[in-house]
Amino acid sequence: MGSAWMHVLFLLLAAISAAAEAAAASGGEALRREADRVRGLPGQPAGARFRHYAGYVELQHPDEHKALFYWFFEAQADAPRKPLVLWLNGGPGCSSVAFGAAQELGPFLVRKDLHNGTHLVLNRFSWNRVANLLFLEAPVGVGFSYTNRSEDLSRLGDHVTAGDSHSFLMGWFQRFPSFRSHDFYIAGESYAGHYVPQLAEVIYERNKGGHGSFINLKGFMIGNAVINDPTDTQGLIDYAWSHAIISDQLHDGIFKECDFSSSNMTVTLLCSSLFRDFLVAYSDIDIYSIYTPVCDLPDWSAAQRLTITPRLLAGHDLRQELPSGYDPCTEEYVEEYFNRKDVQIALHANLTGLPYRYTTCSRVIKGWKESADTILPIIRKLLDAGLRIWIYSGDTDGRVPVTSTRYSVKEMKLRVKEEWRAWFHKQQVAGWVEIYEGGLTLATVRGAGHQVPVFAPDQSLSLFTHFLATDALPSTRR
């Protein structure tokens, strides 16, 4: 009997100790959350009546020393009842803070003028009007995110990024436990056509496993997204021809000499030469926004980027010749702003003194070791699992154009539920939309380039709002 009571006493003491440890950990995370609160951001405009936080989450992997940087904005109203949305930019290697938060859909956009220098303006069409917004710089080597082991920068790829992003979320929800029960969505653009579905798949599989890792994932939305190499490449060429950028001869020559099939993407010398001619055709315009002016600042040239291109070009030194795509004038302002020491202190960033400047797209990542040929099977799997998935396309983007997206979606052979039609915003056609059985919606945004919220902020907010509300896009002028 004495032994039994001793055993009960031991279990009781263990339970008390575990509860105390959990409470201490919870209290520690609450302190860290409060320490992450941004209170005096330089250049922040008046009128922002929402809280925002920034800082690092260290990843809990054995023998790894990684820390990912985030910037989180609570919704402008009724934050406890609004969904939580994670935004990811692509590249791979480009920053969601520098692009998504500071140039596209965040509440503060970076600007520069003669009187104020680099500063922030309120974005009237910020997506935190309807959701809590979380921006993540991933993988390590992007923006302020870092690793203490330089060899990590040469081991990056799709799989590592998805796993690290999931580990980040586990740590972030410990720091912000009140958001764990919120409806959770992921959104992103460009190479986030890989990041977003791959992370969603990891969440879906881990949710099935339990063990305290459940995330209330409801769906995702991707824009001008890289999702299927063969059709992405075919659509790239067809778009340039259909918009009078390349000649009949160049278009026909590429289709004759280049193999677009994912199983046998061989590149002949003639094919390589034709693709160089293709790039030359875009050399004086912005491939990511074909109808807008290019930057004319005298001392600025766009940085080289680690940009995944169709596998057709791999190994032929053509990747870095692709036009950069983002507005280099705005990029200069963003880089200048985030390299300011007072800004970094306010955002609790660069605490370790990184040995390189902050850049919009990473210059320290040493290659991309693993990139899937296609993401379509993952999209199909998650549709079958009941997730809501919207794919949208700014129709003046030549880099991941609407033709590529339509060809890729067609490859999935989904049944059409509602045929192609116009959708409206403020009594004007905002784009076109088609709805498929099983939960997939394909929408275009008229007159928008690769970064849709930059070129069509009002329409993109409407698109996002309808996505969250599970509402069909308006079919009349109203």
pLDDT tens, residue by residue, 161-196: 999 999 999 999 999 999 999 999 999 999 999 999
In contact, 86 and 419? CB cutoff 8 Å = no
List 238, 397, 404, 425, catalytic entry: 397
* C-alpha to C-alpha distance for 208 and 205, rounded to whole angstroms: 5
Q: Which of 182, 194, 425, 450 is catalytic?
A: 450
Q: Which of 144, 10, 130, 122 is CA-nearest to residue 81?
A: 130
Q: What was the pLDDT predicted at 59?
A: 93
| Residue whose entry in the numeric block shows the structure tokens 């046998």 | 264
Distances 14 to 8, 9, 403 between C-alpha atoms, Å: 10, 9, 61
- Contact between 327 and 278 under an 8 Å Cβ cutoff? The reply is no
* pLDDT 10s digits, 20-77: 334 444 577 789 999 999 998 999 998 888 999 999 999 976 666 899 999 999 999 9
Average pLDDT, the chain: 87
- The reply to whether domains 27-223 and 391-469 share a CATH topology is yes
CA–CA dist 478, 476 (Å, integer):
5
Q: Which has more pLDDT, 453 or 266?
A: 453
Q: What is the pLDDT of residue 46?
A: 87
Model confidence at 158: pLDDT above 60: yes
Looking at residue 419, its pLDDT comes to 97
3-state secondary structure of 426: coil
Note the pLDDT of residue 330.
80
Catalytic member of 190, 289, 393, 460: 190
Residue 308 has pLDDT above 90, yes or no: no
Share of the chain above pLDDT 90, in %: 73
Nearest to 315 by CA among 272, 258, 370: 272
Q: Which two tokens stand for residue 115?
A: 């009187």
Q: What are phi and psi for residue 66, nearest 5 degrees?
A: -115, 145
Q: What is the pLDDT of residue 41?
A: 95
Strands (E), 59-200: 66-73, 84-88, 108-113, 117-122, 132-137, 146-147, 184-189
Number of Cβ within 10 Å of residue 449's Cβ equals 26
Write down the domain spans for the chain.
Answer: 27-223, 230-326, 391-469
> Is the domain defined by 27-223 classed in CATH 3.40.50.720?
no
352-371: pLDDT as tens digits: 999 999 999 999 998 899 99
318 or 292: which carries more pLDDT confidence?
Answer: 292
> Maximum CA pair distance of the chain?
93
Angle at 342 between CA 341 and CA 343, to 5 degrees: 90
User: Which structure tokens are listed for 22?
Assistant: 């959990």
232 is catalytic: no
At 14, is the pLDDT very low, low, confident or very high (cuts 50, 70, 90)? very low
Of 286 and 75, more confident: 75
* The listed CATH number (3.40.50.11320, 2.60.210.10, 1.10.10.10, 1.10.287.3510) that belongs to domain 391-469: 3.40.50.11320
Span 106-142, pLDDT tens digits: 999 998 887 778 899 999 999 999 999 999 999 999 9
263 given a catalytic annotation = no
The answer to whether 450 is a known catalytic residue is yes
Structure confidence by residue, pLDDT tens digits, 187-233: 999 999 999 999 999 999 999 987 678 999 999 999 999 999 999 99
* Tokens (6 digits) for 268: 């002949």
Tell me, what's the pLDDT at 33? 93
- The span from the CA of 226 to the CA of 314, in Å, is 15
Query: Strand, coil or helix: what is 331?
Result: helix
